[in-house]
Structure 1
Amino acid sequence: MLDLVYKGILKFNEEKTKILEVASSVTFIETKKNKIVVDTSAKSKTEDLKIYFKNKKINMDEINYVINTHDHFDHVSNNDLFKNAKIINQSNFKELNDPEIEIMETPGHTFDSISVIYGDYLISGDASPLKNNILKERAPGVFVDLELALNSIRKIKSLNKNIVTGHDGILYKNEY
């Protein structure tokens, strides 16, 4: 089971020169073995996360893993809410013990970017922060390596999965 807890936001001023608000998407996955949260968003979303898990009657202490797609504040700031979860990132993703989850390295936005594959879904983090990154095969607005970023976009797109973007909700495979 996969559920989008929060779809993310990336709001700019009119000139698109300054970010006014930023918070990553948050995804909850329940496999046969584990309860997993992918990215925990910015501190501005703390209450939203608490309300979601309360409404779903899921104890946040029962989350086994938090997977961070990369280490930017708008993706990791609520990790502390999941007190018993093992934090998984690019440096230790092989320690994730769940046969239903696959981790794929997707560098470009950062060198440590990863994406999470679960069934028919791929959670891209900021390898694809917006739907248009996939639709127009454009690198994220912020990247450490343009070629790596474009290669990651192409790799993600080639898998033909529903894509949970970093800040723009879900791009369904029938839309691209």
Structure 2
Amino acid sequence: MSEINVLFDGYSIMSANEEEMTANCSCTLLKGSHNIIVDTMTAWDGEKIITALKEHDLNPEDIHYVVSTHGHSDHIGNNNLFLNAKHIVGFSISFRNKYYMHPFDKGEPYIINESVKVIPTPGHTLSDVTVLATSLQGEMVAMTGDLFEKFGDVENPKIWLEAGSEDPVKQLKNRLKVVEVADWIVPGHGSKFQVTPEIRQCLINQVGDSPT
């Protein structure tokens, strides 16, 4: 099991004239048999991440894995801090100049250890992944990146659709797949929230109402 700490909550705020967005992603630390960072924010946040790690008695060289849920710039900005780590960016897995083939495209999870795995959840981009981890309390926590934008997009799909979706049908199905197994969700641009029976039913209804 892992000690799961959301170091920073993500956010996204559209300007009044809708010409720009102020945004950053959630950044999560998993401490356990492997130390893992999920999504490393923008390139201007390196010192913030280093300071937050020190509060948990860690330095960048103590991180074993970096998982970027997808390759957008607000999720990969400080990957280069973690030079001892294996990097998973969407469907790509690498360490230094070595790339490892893994069949995410065939739906296969990547197992980091007995309590942490990375599963393919395409939709927002076609190579999105989600990290599933069992907490010290025995609960399943899903770090989803932009599969879920924020809590409000559960009842209002317009939020995640307008945030950008390369395949809305896949995204909708993968959202349901995640809430069927998760107790908590750390979304890409909002605070961690608990998965309730009502949330699960809402996603079931949305998939049922989908034209395909």
Give, in angstroms, the shift of residue 130 of structure 1. Answer: 1.4
Kept in 1: contact 2:12–2:24 (CA 8 A): yes
| Aligned CA-pair RMSD | 1.9
Give, in angstroms, the shift of residue 137 of structure 1. Answer: 4.8
Give, in angstroms, the shift of residue 41 of structure 1. Answer: 0.7
Q: What is the count of residue pairs matched by the alignment?
A: 174
Moved over 6 A (4+): none
Correspondent of 2:7 among 5, 19, 31? 5
1:129 to 1:169, Cα distance in 2 relative to 1, 3 A: same
Aligned to 1:102: 117
After TM superposition, the score normalised by the length of structure 2 is 0.75
1:154 to 1:95, Cα distance in 2 relative to 1, 3 A: closer
1:160 to 1:100, Cα distance in 2 relative to 1, 3 A: closer
Give, in angstroms, the shift of residue 91 of structure 1. Answer: 2.9
**1: CA distance between counterparts of 2:110 and 2:177?**
23
Q: Which digits, 9 at most, give the CA deviation of each residue in 1:8-45, with x for residues without a partner?
A: 12121124x233322111000012x2100011011232
Kept in 1: contact 2:110–2:118 (CA 8 A): no
Kept in 2: contact 1:137–1:153 (CA 8 A): no
**Is 1:70–2:90 an aligned residue pair?**
no
Aligned to 2:151: 131
**Is 1:145–2:146 an aligned residue pair?**
no
After TM superposition, the score normalised by the length of structure 1 is 0.89
Aligned to 1:116: 131
* SS state at 2:92 partner: coil
**2: CA distance between counterparts of 1:19 and 1:46?**
23
Structure 2 portions without partners, runs of 5+: 94-101, 103-108, 135-139, 200-212
Give, in angstroms, the shift of residue 96 of structure 1. Answer: 5.2
The worse-fitting range, judged by mean Cα deviation, of 93-102 and 62-71 is: 93-102
Aligned to 1:14: 16
Aligned to 2:206: none
Correspondent of 2:192 among 139, 160, 170? 170
Structure 1 portions without partners, runs of 5+: none
**Is 1:27–2:47 an aligned residue pair?**
no
Q: Which has the larger radius of gyration?
A: 2
**1: CA distance between counterparts of 2:117 and 2:195?**
19
Instruction: State the percentage of identical aligned residues.
Output: 25
Within 5 Å, give how 1:42-57 maps onto structure 2: 42-57=42-57
**1: CA distance between counterparts of 2:179 and 2:169?**
15
